[in-house]
Amino acid sequence: MFELLNEGPDEERWFPETNAEHDVVFRVSEIGLHISAFGIKGGKNWRIDRTNSQTFNMLVRQVNPLISTLSMPIPSHMNGKIIRAKDMKREYFQQGVTVLGKEHADGIILQRGEAYGVTSADCPTFTFWSSENDTVIAGHAGLRSIIQKSVNERGEYAEQKHSVIKNALNELRVTDMNSVSAHILCGARTGFIYSRKHPTFGHGNMQIQNLIEAMYPHSGIISSDEAINMPRLVVAEMCRYGVPIENITFDGGDGIEIDTHGDRDIFGNPKWASQSRDPKSGRNFVLVQRF
């Protein structure tokens, strides 16, 4: 099966679809962008063990044959960094694809012929592009990557001096924010609870809730049961830095919004891994490919 990409009035390019096992896919044909999400149906678990390179096999099988590089920076530090493929080291090679990693970062500037991959549970993945230039940026948007605040294991409140959304938009290097488009894929919309009554983290959770309400008033990010809607938080942060809300799309672009915590199939089985629902549920896989 082939899909035609229209890259300009005089240029057309074909690329083959793989036998990828994606559950949701979103395409932006005019810039050769293919964004897909892989859940846990059939007992899948996309978690990788970086001490065992063979665990990359299942991920590499989802990559299109025209992609030569799969960049997988480590997002666990939620440091807001945006890097390039050249900043990472080789971790694995299989089926013509070089997997790059061994660098802590939240996002990457994607060149043509490259892909960005991240295994996650409740955190959304974002992609930015602009009609002003040829730059595409994809990244992981964890709570601590966005609101610049965190609570440590003792329930203490700490500050982080970055926003991955701000950093990514800076790297996009545009003069008109109206030219920017964004896509958000996956993330917990329910069940990601930061309770003020938690015996250890309650005080810090209260401060996080207060910060969200102050930064994004009337946004509906925090529900009545004190759950943080992560995709809605990412939207609010994008809008805070000038991205027009009408330029932001979600998930498969069909109006059906993914909730990694709550979505279930017709048999009642969870569709997605979710740390907030079950810490042992594994990981989902989000793949952003650029042709």
Three-state SS across the chain?
A: CEEEEEEECCEEEEEECCCCCCCEEEEEHHHCEEEEEECCHHHCCCCCCCCCHHHHHHHHCCCCCCCCEEECCECCCCCCCEECHHHCEEEEEECCEEEEECCECCEEEECCCEEEEEEECCCCEEEEEECCCCCEEEEECCHHHHCCEEECCCCCEEECCCCHHHHHHHHHCCCCHHHEEEEEECCCCCCCECCCCCCCCHHHHHHHHHHHHHHCCCCCCECCCCEECHHHHHHHHHHHCCCCHHHEEECCCCCCCCCCCCCECCCCCECCCCCCCCCCCCCEEEEEEEC
Question: Would you state the pLDDT for residue 104?
Answer: 97
pLDDT digits (tens, 9 = 90+) for 127-144: 999 999 999 999 999 999
Question: Would you state the pLDDT for residue 149?
Answer: 82
The residues with which 128 forms a beta bridge, in sequence order, are 137, 182
How large a percentage of the chain has pLDDT more than 70? 93
Average pLDDT value for residue range 249-267: 95
Question: Would you state the pLDDT for residue 197?
Answer: 96
On the question of pLDDT at 219 being above 50, the answer is yes
How large a percentage of the chain has pLDDT more than 90? 83
| Least confident interval from 18-27, 57-66, 170-179, 225-234 | 18-27
On the question of pLDDT at 7 being above 60, the answer is no
Residue type, 112: R
Residues 29 and 18: their CA atoms lie apart, in Å, by 16
Question: Would you state the pLDDT for residue 160?
Answer: 77
Question: Would you state the pLDDT for residue 19?
Answer: 55
On the question of pLDDT at 6 being above 60, the answer is no
pLDDT digits (tens, 9 = 90+) for 46-60: 999 988 888 899 999
pLDDT digits (tens, 9 = 90+) for 89-120: 999 999 999 999 999 999 999 999 999 999 99
Considering only CA atoms, which of 134, 163, 138, 135 is closest in space to residue 148?
163
Backbone φ, ψ for residue 171 (5° rounding) = -70, -20
Give the dihedral sign, CA 209/215/218/221. negative
pLDDT digits (tens, 9 = 90+) for 144-176: 999 888 888 888 888 778 899 999 999 999 999
Domains delineated in the chain:
2-290 (3.60.140.10)
